[in-house]
Structure 1
Amino acid sequence: MSRRGLVAQTLQMNSWIVATSQDLRPPRKMSKKSHFDMRLKEVILNVYKYETQKKSLTTAADDIVEEVALKIGICKRSVYKVVREYRARHSFAALLTNQNRKRCIHLVNHGNTSTIRRKVHQFFFRNELPTIDNVLKEVND
């Protein structure tokens, strides 16, 4: 029997039990390696503001943050960070891009690059670890 069928049967047998298939599923979590873009930060802040307006003044801030975290599917710490960032700047900072980053490999011409690569490969052929000191010693010799 499927889970929904089991819930429907439970509802028919015990009319006082109120459970739906929504209650049986855990909240959807975000992946750990993703960052919060400005839109998501605004959503978190809007839900936080809504919950603070909805709750009374005697409700603890931790309870409000926990409610926001459950609704959005993020951890409480992330909610605290977003709210703290907004309180400090009254806006959200855009993410920094690394598109103009210079790579070290472009500072050396092609002939020297191939020589350095050959030296590093020789370390692997000898089953040694190519540390910077060892590579510099080999290249300078």
Structure 2
Amino acid sequence: MKVNLKNGIGDLLFGMKQKDVEAILGKPNKQFLDDDNNVIYLYNNQKLRLTFYEDENFRLGYIITSNPEATVLDKKVIGKNIDDVKKSLPIKDWDTEDFDSTTNHFNESNWLIFQTEFEQVIRIELGAIINDNDEIEWKFK
């Protein structure tokens, strides 16, 4: 499962509607609304959580995965030491934020988060890019 920075993951592109995603992955294992009325799809086998933003006409805008086969720039990262992961990637600008036992390592230019626990990457979060005009750059038209 390839993380396509700024675009999506695998065959999924930011901007897809629920029907587009379902054409690729089928019906989700679970679907619910979050506190902001965004639609959340969960796919157990792929270890994917997909967010369709209510205020953007329910377009796919955020992806979370803990799939051990997920790659970022052709490197597997789940279960790997965060320092080793960061050294192996050409991305050098990281902000960190601690939450109890986990730490988020965030790169804004790619809207990429590696969440770690015990210094190992446990999940990848990827968001659609917001441009200088405060508009989302949709990849799926």
Same fold (TM over 0.5): no
Q: TM-score, normalised by structure 1?
A: 0.23
Bigger Rg, structure 1 or 2: 1
**Structure with the largest fraction of strand:** 2
